[in-house]
Structure 1
Amino acid sequence: MSLTSPNRRSVNRALSALALVVVGIGAVTACSDDDSAAHQSTTQDDTGSASPETSQAVRTKLRMIDNGGHRLAFYVTKGSSSTIVLDSGGGEYSSQWKEIVPELHAATGATVITYDRAGLGKSDVVPGPWKVQSAVSDLKAGLEQLGVTRDVTLVSHSQAGEIANYLAQDNPKMLSGALLVDANLPPFFTDEEIPRLVAAAQPEVDAAKKDPEKPANRQLISTSEGFAAAHRAFHRVVWPDSVPARVMLSEKTPFEGSPEDARRWREAAASFAHAAPNRSLVTAEGTSHEVPTDRPDLVLKEIENVFAAQH
């Protein structure tokens, strides 16, 4: 049985997975150079020269990080030795967090970091299939080159949930806590669910292959390659008991058009959240999968709560 047509904007980001990339393919297209330019106006370049346009521009610096021969754009709003990292959903640029960063920095005093994953924003395109291990390597390398190796509060939306789970599993001492915002979680990707996602995405993947150079299509194609095997492996990832985590679930889920898949998404979130005493679950009422855009105030509040609990 294939999925009924879900919200196109949601799917690309939500499951980071194929269907999500597919469902949200329209969002990737919308996340254009204009969006990137808007973020640039609040940053400094690699030389440290600041734009006078806003006070935020004085505090935020663009750092280009090299990892394995490709460059990635990291945006650093310097604060205390504690660090909050905001990781965007599939197809999203760092500018997804532009409304939250200044308020979060002001509220916590922490260093706040956002970044563009490979192939997005100012970061280099890396040819071939999207591999979560490569994405984890990019994030870890960027943080280490910025001198961030501990006391990280990680905030991950949608597809970034996969990066968060692998990073936490392999580097638990780096993290002091995490907020997973309607994120991809291992319990969801069962042997029953993965074929449904693949079937739902296939028409969009076929269409994307007709114009593979288009950025949105490139993202979708790279995510679809090896999707089933990659997510069977993701299903086996174990979040460490030493890292507290709060799961923020959207009310509508990425699957508004498919009650069965929406039910599975909610059950997976609950299963993950109830697996350890230092995890919890909250539902963001009135939100779609795009929780950071729908209700940045709620996301800000939850980040502050997770951060405060560890400091």
Structure 2
Amino acid sequence: MPAKSRSWRRSIALGLVVPAALGAGLAACGNSPASTPAPAAASSSAAATASPPASILKMITVDGRRLAFHVTPGHQPAIVLDAGGGEDSSYWKGLVPRLAQDTGSMIITYDRAGLGDSDEVAGPWDVHSAVSDLEAGLHQLGVTQKVVLVSHSQAGEVATYFAQANPQLLSGAVLVDANLPPFFTDEEIARLVAATAPQIEEAKKQPSTKQNRQLIATAANFGPAHHDYHAASWPTTVPAIVMVSTKTPFDGSPEDAQRWRDAAAAFAKAGPDRELVTAEGSSHDIPLDRPQLVLDQIEKMASGG
């Protein structure tokens, strides 16, 4: 995809899905790095021979729809990576080989409905349907306990409802600049809906593509869905590392950026076994800006400490 097209799509994705940037911040988020810096070369031939196996595409059928799950073989417990709004499993391509090599764990990435190689679902985007899809996919893959769930941006909403419904399945989560319930007050929802309305109208004028349809579907029920999400809670039995970027999705709006950081801090303080980690100097795309920091936090959660 041309850089200009990806930048436009990413900006709209942030505006509709994070949700995010007001004014100049929207454009700033569209300028996030396009790829993760390459890891340093291995210092020995032994490191080269320890390269992880290639991922395997497994198409899972849920209610007659096909969902794409990419599985890098390894031992369980598995580490599941869930990308943010407007992004598919390829968002994690720079981290998966390193994470598999470092941990030896099974690594799973997947395309939520309407993204990547997964089939679309008609109508407004429904987080509860996304939760059911992830539940069904993991069950069909035989992944049923002690999962480490890593969720970026919009995927924080999927993670919250997933954790509520399946606390026994998770050993912990790493929430990477994720949408968290404390942020979505009625005041903030109203600000975001008003601020992103022009971008939504512009998206509707663009050629109809799978990605564009998904973004518009996400916007369709944004207000009511996030009013409900504000009341959601994270189970006290599931540990969480809460990563927050210093720039946030609202790099152009200091007030909203502070609310985003405050929401992450409030979430971290609201329950036991939660840790707040700040990604200094990073944009909203912490996995792209600070990949080693993200890897360190995932490995810390996977090791139980």
> Given the two structures, how large is their TM-score scaled by the length of structure 2?
0.85
Paired residues for 1:13-162 under 5 Å: 13=14, 16-19=17-20, 23=26, 58-162=53-157
Kindly report the root-mean-square deviation, in angstroms, between the aligned alpha carbons of the 2 structures: 2.6
Deviation, 1:169, is: 0.8
> Which one-letter code corresponds to 2:269 in the other structure?
H
Provide structure 1 residue ranges, at least 5 long, that are not aligned to the other structure. 1-6, 36-54
Q: Once superposed, which parts of structure 1, at least 4 consecutive aligned residues long, lie more than 6 Å away?
A: none
CA 1:26/1:238 → structure 2, altered by over 3 Å: closer, same or farther?
closer
**Structure 1 residue 178 and structure 2 residue 181: aligned?**
no
Q: Distance in 2 between matches of 1:207 and 1:194?
A: 20
CA 1:16/1:162 → structure 2, altered by over 3 Å: closer, same or farther?
same
Deviation, 1:25, is: 12
Residue 190 of structure 1 is matched in structure 2 by: 185
Deviation, 1:173, is: 0.4
Deviation, 1:18, is: 4.6
Deviation, 1:17, is: 4.5
> Which one-letter code corresponds to 2:201 in the other structure?
D
Deviation, 1:161, is: 0.2
Aligned residues: 280
Deviation, 1:69, is: 1.4
> CA contact under 8 A between 1:18 and 1:223: conserved in structure 2?
no
> CA contact under 8 A between 2:29 and 2:284: conserved in structure 1?
no
Deviation, 1:109, is: 1.4
Provide structure 2 residue ranges, at least 5 long, that are not aligned to the other structure. 1-6, 36-50
> Which one-letter code corresponds to 2:140 in the other structure?
Q
Residue 162 of structure 2 is matched in structure 1 by: 167
Deviation, 1:212, is: 5.8
**Structure 1 residue 255 and structure 2 residue 250: aligned?**
yes
CA 1:25/1:221 → structure 2, altered by over 3 Å: closer, same or farther?
farther
CA 1:142/1:13 → structure 2, altered by over 3 Å: closer, same or farther?
farther
CA 1:253/1:26 → structure 2, altered by over 3 Å: closer, same or farther?
closer
Deviation, 1:14, is: 7.7
Render the CA deviation track for 1:14-64: whole Å, top value 9, x for unaligned: 87345479948996xx99xxx9xxxxxxxxxxxxxxxxxxx65x4321000
Q: Distance in 2 between matches of 1:127 and 1:91?
A: 16
Deviation, 1:193, is: 0.4
Deviation, 1:214, is: 2.6
**Structure 1 residue 239 and structure 2 residue 248: aligned?**
no
> Which one-letter code corresponds to 1:87 in the other structure?
D
**Structure 1 residue 297 and structure 2 residue 284: aligned?**
no
Q: Distance in 2 between matches of 1:24 and 1:62?
A: 34
Q: Distance in 2 between matches of 1:181 and 1:92?
A: 14
Residue 224 of structure 1 is matched in structure 2 by: 219
Deviation, 1:297, is: 1.2
**Structure 1 residue 12 and structure 2 residue 7: aligned?**
no
> CA contact under 8 A between 1:94 and 1:114: conserved in structure 2?
yes
> Which one-letter code corresponds to 2:291 in the other structure?
P
> CA contact under 8 A between 1:62 and 1:73: conserved in structure 2?
yes
> CA contact under 8 A between 2:81 and 2:149: conserved in structure 1?
yes
Render the CA deviation track for 1:262-281: whole Å, top value 9, x for unaligned: 01100000000011230010
> Which one-letter code corresponds to 2:13 in the other structure?
N
Render the CA deviation track for 1:117-142: whole Å, top value 9, x for unaligned: 11111111222111101111111111
Render the CA deviation track for 1:251-272: whole Å, top value 9, x for unaligned: 1000011111001100000000
CA 1:110/1:62 → structure 2, altered by over 3 Å: closer, same or farther?
same
Q: Distance in 2 between matches of 1:25 and 1:120?
A: 23
> CA contact under 8 A between 1:76 and 1:113: conserved in structure 2?
yes
CA 1:72/1:118 → structure 2, altered by over 3 Å: closer, same or farther?
same
